[in-house]
Amino acid sequence: MTPEAPLTPTTHLTHVTAPDGVAPGNGYSHVVWGTGRFVAVSGQCAFDEAGGIVGVGDAAAQARQVFENLRRCLAAAGATFDDVVKLTFFVTDVAHLPAVREARDAVIAPERPPASSAFQVAALIRPELLVEIEAFAIVPTPADTPR
C-alpha cells in the first residue's frame, strides 16, 4: 500500500485511493488517516438558516446547500473541507449522486478525496428532502502540524 504524497508540507492527512489489491475508488479514497482532533458533523440536509428547505425537487440545489451547511458546521469546529476524512451520503434516489458529486467537487479537491459511502434510503426526515450528508474530519493540533 503506497500512500499518496501530501499536497502541502503542512498536511496532517494521508489519502490512499488504491490500496494494493483493491481497485481505485471513483472519486473517493479507500483509506484516509491523520493526526489531530476528531470532529463529527451530524447529517446535514438542505435547510436554510431559518429552517426552510432549499431547492425542493432539485437535487443539485439541495446538494449545494448541504455542503454549505457542512462548511458552516466544520468552521464551528475550526475545520475546513481540507480536514474531512469521511463523507456519508444518503439519497432518496441514486440518480441524485451525480449532483452530489458535483457539489462535493466544488468544495473538496478531487485529487485528495475523503473516504466515502453512499446509501439510497426510502426517505429522509422530511418528504421534500432528497440528500443528507454527514462528515468526519481530523483537525490538526499545533503539535501535529509539520514545520
* Residue 3 lies inside a defined structural domain of this protein: no
Strands (E), the chain: 13-16, 31-34, 37-44, 84-91, 115-120, 131-139
Instruction: Tell which wins on pLDDT, 7 or 50.
Output: 50
Q: What is the CATH number of the domain that holds 68?
A: 3.30.1330.40
Residue 10: predicted pLDDT: 46
Residue 2 clears pLDDT 80, i.e. is over it: no
CA distance 60 to 43: 17
Give Rg (Cα) of the chain: 16
- Total of domains in the chain: 1
Of the pLDDT bands very low, low, confident and very high (cuts 50, 70, 90), residue 111 is confident
Q: Cα 5 from chain centroid?
A: 20
How large is the average pLDDT for residues 85-105? 98
Could you give the 3-state DSSP secondary structure of residue 60? helix
* Residue 60 lies inside a defined structural domain of this protein: yes
Element at 68 (helix H, strand E)? helix 59-76
Residue carrying C-alpha cell 426517505: 123
* Residue 114 lies inside a defined structural domain of this protein: yes
Could you give the 3-state DSSP secondary structure of residue 82? helix
Of the pLDDT bands very low, low, confident and very high (cuts 50, 70, 90), residue 25 is confident
**Over the chain, what is the mean pLDDT?**
90
Residue 8: predicted pLDDT: 40
Residue 6 clears pLDDT 50, i.e. is over it: no
Residue carrying C-alpha cell 467537487: 105
* Residue 129 lies inside a defined structural domain of this protein: yes
Q: Which domain holds residue 74?
A: 36-141
Instruction: Give per-residue pLDDT as tens, 27-48.
Output: 899 999 999 999 999 999 999 9
* Residue 49 lies inside a defined structural domain of this protein: yes
Of the pLDDT bands very low, low, confident and very high (cuts 50, 70, 90), residue 89 is very high
Can you read off the three cell numbers belonging to residue 44?
446535514
Q: Are 118 and 93 in contact (CB under 8 A)?
A: no
Instruction: Tell which wins on pLDDT, 26 or 122.
Output: 122
CA distance 83 to 80: 6
Residue 144: predicted pLDDT: 55
